[in-house]
Amino acid sequence: MTRPFPEKRIAIIGAGVGGLTAAIYLRLAGFEVSIYEALPRPGGRANLIEQEGFRFDTGPSLLNYPWVFEGLFAAAGRRLIDYVTLLPIDPSITFLWPDGTSFTPSSDLRRLRDECERLEPGVTPGLTAFLSDAEIKYNFSFRKLVRQNVDNPLAWLCALSLGEMAKSAVWRSLDSELKRFFGSRHIREAFGSYAMYLGGSPQNLPGLFSILSYAELAYGLWLPRGGIYGLIEGIARLAGELGVNIITGRRVRRVIVRDGRVRGLEFADGTTEDWPSVISNVDLPTTRRELLPPGYAQRPNNLLRRHPVMTPGVVTFYWGLRGRLEGLQHHTIFLPDHFDAAFDDLFKQHRIPEDLPFYLSMPSATDPTLSPPGCTTVFVLIPTPISSDAGPADWATTTTFLKTRILERLRRHNVVIAPGRLIVERILTPEDWQEMFGLYQGSAFGAAHTLFQLGPFRDRNLDRDIHGLYYTGAGTTPGTGLPIVVLSGQMTAERICQHAR
Ligand SMILES: Cc1cc2nc3c(=O)[nH]c(=O)nc-3n(C[C@H](O)[C@H](O)[C@H](O)COP(=O)(O)OP(=O)(O)OC[C@H]3O[C@@H](n4cnc5c(N)ncnc54)[C@H](O)[C@@H]3O)c2cc1C
């Protein structure tokens, strides 16, 4: 369908990573672009808490696929390194089990092999086969599936050759895919653990997602100097230099729609502005429920379902500690004794897992400027069910309980945080995430990545019913995570540029 594009002027609601990226690409294509952001600073979920000399990233802490960010700056004729310094984190993550078993993968092939052999003697041929299989999948996925604005499922899948289709493992689960290469339960659980953040278990997410652990090994994990927010500052600076108008502290109340076309925006203070086209970077289901005229939320913006299945919520702790925290490295994932039961609790029983999995990051171990001298910045993330599944919660009691469980578990690994060491403590519950950033049902990562919520099955980046309305961010294609959301911004901009021709 071709759409008339009256003027090269566009407003973007929300200065999350998707909104900032779309703005940069559209500015480069000659558009006049204004971003309206409700909060005092850009970044969205990738925001900043500063207190008592500690600098905490609110959300994302694991940065992968640096080539995506390099591509964003290169599109503007700039170099990422002139804006952001990326510090390597290797070994990347330590996975710990309650019985003391640990697994620390590395991008260094020899160290990776030794570590896998320690857990599963004789695994080297399986590891080698896993890496080369996932590399092939990764390459054709990014070239042919992830980065394409394709609305037709047949055309999307037919982009793959028969061999690639078979290799893609979309018809197999991630669990059975990992079992093809690894006998060790610990290696499989470590490589399957990201499923939780994609909104499923290794049993029900497609095997294609073996590319996640591969990509982490192949491209490494990085910390921008100044924390993840250092990257946001670099991207926002680039947008500003290009002439994107970023207006913070300006909440949009609704998108004005008449005769099936976008006409402008109404702001929280009651004022209005005319705009021929709008991109919403606000979480997609929230946009459709709260910013569009009644009725539109009931119409699906994808091929299959009205309401997307969402990824879990999170409780996040931000601790500023006196002194160093010995015994842990930058990223640690604490896995439970009963891995499958934790997924079952979260996704089927809709409760915080009894046998608590959580993630802890200590970014000041890599960049000491994130805390006062001699102190430590700690971030802890616990997955929770989404609010519609869990029902009302007493978050004050729940977070106290969770904190006790986390400290107990840390003690089991000989990591002791005495109460007197806590200089700063901030906590965000799923309710806070929902309220602060407009996250539908408090879901931290947006729509889940089950097979029928990928590619053309996912909510589209253009509205099916309202001319001139587009979407970008974690809720639309290709999906969630900082680099993937950068691709989302680029793809939305490409869609608009096609329409503007
Ligand atoms: C706790 C947590 C941990 C994460 N960890 C990682 C990680 O380690 N690595 C990784 O790559 N990704 C991670 N992610 C995912 C990543 O943060 C997101 O995929 C990405 O930041 C989403 O960006 P977005 O473009 O969708 O915009 P969002 O971040 O959702 O931003 C949308 C913006 O819209 C604004 N807004 C909302 N309503 C209005 C309105 N009415 N008017 C004006 N503005 C409005 C909001 O204030 C916000 O700034 C994590 C997310 C969370 C929550």
Note whether 275 and 9 are within 8 A (CB): yes
Task: Give the tens place of pLDDT for each residue, 424-433.
Answer: 999 999 999 9
The confidence score (pLDDT) of residue 429 equals 97
Query: Which alpha helices (DSSP H) does 338-394 contain, by range?
Result: 339-347, 387-390
CA dist., res. 39 & res. 251, Å (int): 8
Report the pLDDT value the prediction gives residue 118, as an integer from 0 to 100: 98
Contact 251 CB / ligand 1 (< 6 Å): yes
Surface-to-core class of residue 245, CB atoms within 10 Å of its CB (0-12 exposed, 13-18 middle, 19+ buried)? middle
Mean pLDDT, the chain, rounded, equals 94
Q: Kindly give the pairing relationship between strand 245-247 and strand 32-36.
A: parallel
DSSP 457-477: GSPPSB-SSSBTEEE-STTSS
**Quick check: 302 and 460 in contact, CB under 8 A?**
yes
> So what's the pLDDT on residue 90?
87
Give yes or no for a contact between 222 and 87, defined as CB atoms under 8 angstroms apart.
yes
User: What pLDDT score does 2 carry?
Assistant: 42
Query: What Å distances lie between residue 442 and 61, 80, 312, 391, 453, CA to CA?
Result: 19, 32, 8, 12, 19
What is the mean predicted confidence (pLDDT) over 268-278?
97
Q: Given this model, what pLDDT does residue 308 score?
A: 87
Q: How many CB atoms lie within 10 A of CB 112?
A: 18
At position 94, the amino acid (one-letter code) is: T
Please write the tens of the pLDDT for every residue from 465-500. Answer: 999 999 999 999 999 999 999 999 999 999 999 988
Atom of ligand 1 nearest to the CA of 483: 11
How many angstroms separate the Cα of 412 from the Cα of each of 97, 100, 375?
10, 8, 23
Would you give the DSSP letter of residue 43? B
CB neighbour list of residue 114: distance below 8 Å, 6 or more residues apart: none
**Cα-to-centroid distance, 397 and ligand 1 (Å):** 26
Distance 177 CA to ligand 1 centre (A): 30
**Nearest atom (ligand 1) to Cα of 290:** 41
CB atoms within 10 A of CB 411: 11
Instruction: Name the β-bridge partners of 12.
Output: 35, 279
CA distance 181 to 126: 5
77: left (phi over 0), alpha (psi -120 to 50) or beta: left
Q: Is the pLDDT of residue 49 over 80?
A: yes
Asked if residues 335 and 412 have their Cβ atoms less than 8 Å apart, the reply is: no
**Helix, strand or coil, per DSSP, at residue 416:** coil
The whole-angstrom separation of Cα 490 and Cα 497 is 10
5 — pLDDT class (breaks 50, 70, 90): low
Helical H segments across 353-441, by residue range: 387-390, 395-412, 430-437
Run of H or E residues at 215: helix 210-219
13 lines ligand 1 (CB under 6 A): yes
Share of the chain above pLDDT 90, in %: 85
Contact 335, 190 (CB under 8 A): yes
Rounded distance from Cα 44 to ligand 1 centre (Å): 4
Quote the ligand 1 centre to 14 CA distance (angstroms): 9
Distance (Å, rounded) from C-alpha 146 to C-alpha 131? 20
Residues in the chain: 501
In angstroms, what is the span from residue 481 Cα to ligand 1's centroid?
A: 9
The pLDDT assigned to 169 comes to 87
Q: Is pLDDT at 1 greater than 70 in this prediction?
A: no
d(CA 115, CA 120): 9
Q: Is the CB of 62 under 6 A from ligand 1?
A: yes
Tens digits of residue pLDDT in 281-335: 999 999 999 999 998 877 778 777 777 889 999 999 999 999 999 999 999 999 9
**Res 198 pLDDT > 60:** yes
User: End-to-end CA distance of the chain, in Å?
Assistant: 13
As a whole number of angstroms, the distance between CA 280 and CA 479 comes to 15
- How many angstroms separate the most distant Cα atoms in the chain? 68
Q: What are the residues facing 359 on neighbouring strands? A: 333, 381
Higher per-residue confidence, 389 vs 198:
198
- Asked whether residue 3 carries a pLDDT value surpassing 70, the answer given is no
Question: Of all residues in the chain, what percent carry a pLDDT higher than 70?
Answer: 98
Token pair recorded at residue 38: 């409700």
Q: What pLDDT, on a 0 to 100 scale, did the predictor assign at position 275? A: 97
- Contact predicate 256/43, CB 8 Å: no
pLDDT-based confidence at residue 409 (cuts at 50, 70, 90): very high
Report the chain's C-alpha Rg in angstroms: 22
436 vs 281: CA distance, rounded Å: 14
Distance CA 356, CA 338 (A): 10
Per-residue pLDDT at 302: 77
Which atom of ligand 1 is nearest the CA belonging to 381? 1
Long-range contacts for 261-268 (Cβ within 8 Å, ≥24 apart)? 261/466, 261/467, 261/468, 262/466, 262/467, 262/468, 262/469, 265/11, 265/13, 265/36, 267/36, 268/38
Instruction: Determine the residue type at 357.
Output: P
DSSP secondary structure string for all residues of 100-168: S-EE---SSHHHHHHHHHHHSTT-HHHHHHHHHHHHHHHHHIIIIIIT-----HHHHHHTS-HHHHHHH
pLDDT in tens, 338-393: 999 999 999 999 999 988 999 999 999 999 999 999 999 999 999 999 887 777 88
187-214 average pLDDT score = 92
Alpha carbon 340 to its chain's center: 23
Q: 488 near 474, Cβ under 8 Å?
A: yes
Whether 480 lines ligand 1, by a CB cut-off of 6 Å, is yes
User: Residue 126 pLDDT > 50, yes or no?
Assistant: yes
| pLDDT at residue 300 in the model | 78
Q: What are phi and psi of 465, to 5 degrees?
A: -110, -25
3-state secondary structure of 96: strand
- pLDDT recorded at residue 483: 97
161 alpha carbon – ligand 1 mean position (Å): 35
